[in-house]
Amino acid sequence: MVRIYLVASLLAAAASSLAAGQRSKVAKSVRVPGAYIFELENDQDVSAFEQTITDDGETRMKLEFELFKGLSFQLHNIKTAKEKVAKFAAMPAVKAVHPVMLYDMPNPKVEWIAPKGSTFEQPGLASRAEGGPDTFSPHVMTQVDKLRVKGIIGKEIKVAVIDSGVMPIRGLSAESSELTCVSIAFSDVLALSVKSPSLVL
């Protein structure tokens, strides 16, 4: 379950960076020498397992959650790491072993694509922003462009969105979440109202 969530998160992050116009190569990953995450069976005690392997290295982080039990561990001797990891993986308490990876952070570039010397204040750009056809994809999909054609642009309209942050598919309870309040432009509310049942107008 946790591995599926991690894979889905990584895929979503990769897709969003590509969709945002990322032109650079996919982030490179590098193994951290001698560092491993030991995933334990659900009925195992993390501290007890830590005591059995503590002579060979040090704990980087304990991971004791409802859906994942384990610890991140750094072995002292990198030369014998493979043998040690194979020995630890054979223990009945160990469910899986994952190498610790480092990922390069994306380096998005913002490029000016308008003609050289043009600014937002120029008549062509200003008219398109205020009254011209709205071609912004989320606006077209949620029909905000049709409202803008009618002159409804959200000027002087304030909207409050109260969102508990609870995603029912993640199984979180309402007691563990915090309420947040933000103010956004009216033109963006139509896009949000499709996805968020907690939208307050």
β-pair partners for 40? 94
At residue 140 the predicted structure's pLDDT band, cuts being 50, 70 and 90, is confident
Sign (positive or negative) of CA dihedral 172, 174, 177, 183? positive
Q: Looking at the predicted structure, is the pLDDT value of residue 38 above 80?
A: yes
- Any idea what DSSP says for residue 199? B
Q: CA-based angle 89:90:92, to the nearest 5?
A: 100
Strand spans (E) along the chain: 29-40, 57-64, 69-75, 94-103, 159-163, 180-184
Distances (CA, A) of 28 to 5, 70, 104, 129, 148: 21, 26, 6, 38, 43
What pLDDT does 196 receive?
45
Lowest-pLDDT choice from 2-6, 39-43, 83-87, 143-147: 2-6
Residue of higher predicted confidence among 3 and 44: 44
Q: Looking at the predicted structure, is the pLDDT value of residue 71 above 60?
A: yes
Pairing of strands 94-103, 69-75: unpaired
What pLDDT does 114 receive?
63
Mean pLDDT, residues 113-138: 61
* pLDDT, averaged across the chain: 72
Tokens 């160990």 appear where? Answer: 94
Q: pLDDT for 143-168, tens place per residue?
A: 888 888 888 877 777 777 777 665 55
Residue of higher predicted confidence among 182 and 63: 63
User: Radius of gyration of the chain from Cα atoms?
Assistant: 25
Q: Contact 34/28 with Cβ under 8 angstroms?
A: no
Sign (positive or negative) of CA dihedral 184, 188, 190, 193? negative
What pLDDT does 50 receive?
92
Q: pLDDT for 184-200, tens place per residue?
A: 444 444 444 444 444 44
For 11, the 3-state DSSP assignment is: helix
d(CA 65, CA 57): 23
What pLDDT does 70 receive?
92
